[in-house]
Amino acid sequence: MANIAIIIYSMYHHVATLAEAVKEGIESTGNNATIYQVKETLPEEVLQKMYAPAKPDYPIATIEDLTEADGILFGVPTRFGAFPSQLKEFIDSMGGVWSSGALYHKPSGVFTSTGTGGGQETTIVSLLSTFAHHGMLYVPLGYKETMEDLRNVEDVNGGSAWGAATLANSDGSRQPSELELKVARAQGSEFGRAVHKLTRTKDVGRASSSTADGNPVDGGQVVDPIGAKNQTLNQPLKQTSKPVAVSVGNSTKEPEKRGKKKNFLKRFLAKIFD
């Protein structure tokens, strides 16, 4: 069972609604999911002029939430075809985990919200640079489990192969449709399966590497390559008591007996030709 962090920024709750559907999809695969939100950077008086509602009741994301998770999904609205500055501030605080490689090979994905259907894919693409610098593995939604829904042109749907999305209208009046929520749940379930698969593969790879390096894998024991079973590390192999035989011609003689025969022949010839 994997632990997945969903990191969001949501001003008008469109992304938060998608995040709940994504979380539902993750949990349907037997994995755990927790939604976090990044800090707001706009002052309260500006938010009031924008008629922004109160923030959803999610804990504020920390760097530890990233390092402790087995996989990370980011949910953000579009700001001129890219992710908003609130998430950028959080990403800019990740220098420590970048230098330590703490997010290396950690699965990641993105879902988003746009006003009128432009920018959802470029917003996801704008996060790929962050994933690349951290060595994270980008997991797109793809089409395998969502082909029918993403090809549906009868209903409004902001999602694509890059990730789930919703169209909020230019004034934010439209909430995610059931079709968009269905795609979000599909992204959650597929991401959960991918994280579980990649986590298992990583564990197997570490075990194989330990065996190849001669490090203890199971109770401090390894299989000796020349046949000793469960030979404990650093314990010398038992020496055989039987002398090593040396082959001469068609016969096999022990070294000591061969030496005695050679000395006897030497003394015998010396007496004859003395």
Task: Give per-residue pLDDT as tens, 63-105.
Answer: 999 999 999 999 999 999 999 999 999 999 999 999 999 999 9
Assess if residue 226 is contained within a domain: no
Residue 218 domain-assigned? no
The total domain count for the chain is 2
Confidence of residue 199 (pLDDT cuts 50, 70, 90): confident
8 with 118, same domain?
yes
Distance separating alpha carbons of residues 251 and 128, to the nearest angstrom:
73
Tell which residue, 114, 94, 102, 218, has the closest CA to residue 157.
114
Check whether 56 has a pLDDT greater than 80. Answer: yes
Higher pLDDT, 224 or 153: 153
Residues 59, 172 within the same domain: yes
| Domain assignment of residue 78, yes or no | yes
With 0-12 / 13-18 / 19 or more C-beta atoms within 10 angstroms meaning exposed / middle / buried, residue 42 is middle
Inform me whether the pLDDT recorded for 244 exceeds 80. no
pLDDT interval class at 203 (50, 70, 90): low
How far the first Cα of the chain sits from its last, in Å, is 92
Decide if 163 is inside a domain.
yes
pLDDT value for 239: 53
Is residue 228 included in any domain, yes or no? Answer: no
Asked whether residue 249 falls in the same domain as residue 203, the answer is: no
pLDDT, position 122: 95
Write down the pLDDT at residue 116: 82
Greatest mean pLDDT range, 51-60, 240-249, 251-260: 51-60
What does the pLDDT read at residue 91? 97
Q: What is the CATH number of the domain that holds 85?
A: 3.40.50.360
Question: What pTM was computed for the model?
Answer: 0.74
Encoding tokens for residue 22? 């994504």
Half-sphere exposure of 243 (CA within 13 A, CB side): 10
- Binning pLDDT at 50, 70 and 90, where does residue 117 land? confident
In terms of phi and psi (left: phi > 0; alpha: psi -120 to 50; beta: otherwise), the region of 238 is beta
In a domain, 234, yes or no: no
In a domain, 204, yes or no: yes
* Residue finishing a domain among 159, 192, 212: 212
Question: Do 92 and 164 belong together in one domain?
Answer: yes
118 band by pLDDT with thresholds 50, 70 and 90: confident
Shared-domain flag, residues 89 and 45 = yes
Q: Provide the pLDDT for residue 19.
A: 99
Q: Provide the pLDDT confidence category of residue 205 given band limits of 50, 70 and 90.
A: low
The answer to whether residues 263 and 153 belong to one domain is no
- In-domain check, residue 224: no
Is pLDDT above 60 for 231?
no
Specify the pLDDT at position 272.
60
Q: Is the pLDDT of residue 38 over 50?
A: yes
Angle, CA 193 vertex, CA 17 and CA 123 arms, to 5°: 45
Residue ranges making up the domain that contains 259: 245-274
Question: Does residue 256 sit in the same domain as residue 143?
Answer: no
Tokens in use for 174?
Answer: 């439209």
Same domain, 206 and 267: no
Both 17 and 146 in a single domain?
Answer: yes
DSSP 145-199: TTHHHHT--SS----BTTB-EEE--TTS-PPPPHHHHHHHHHHHHHHHHHHHHHH
Residue 216 has pLDDT above 50, yes or no: no
- Which residues have C-beta within 8 Å of that of residue 162, sequence separation ≥ 6? 110, 120, 121, 124, 125, 140, 141
166 and 119 inside one domain: yes
Residues 186 and 259 in one domain: no
Residues 26 and 156 in one domain: yes
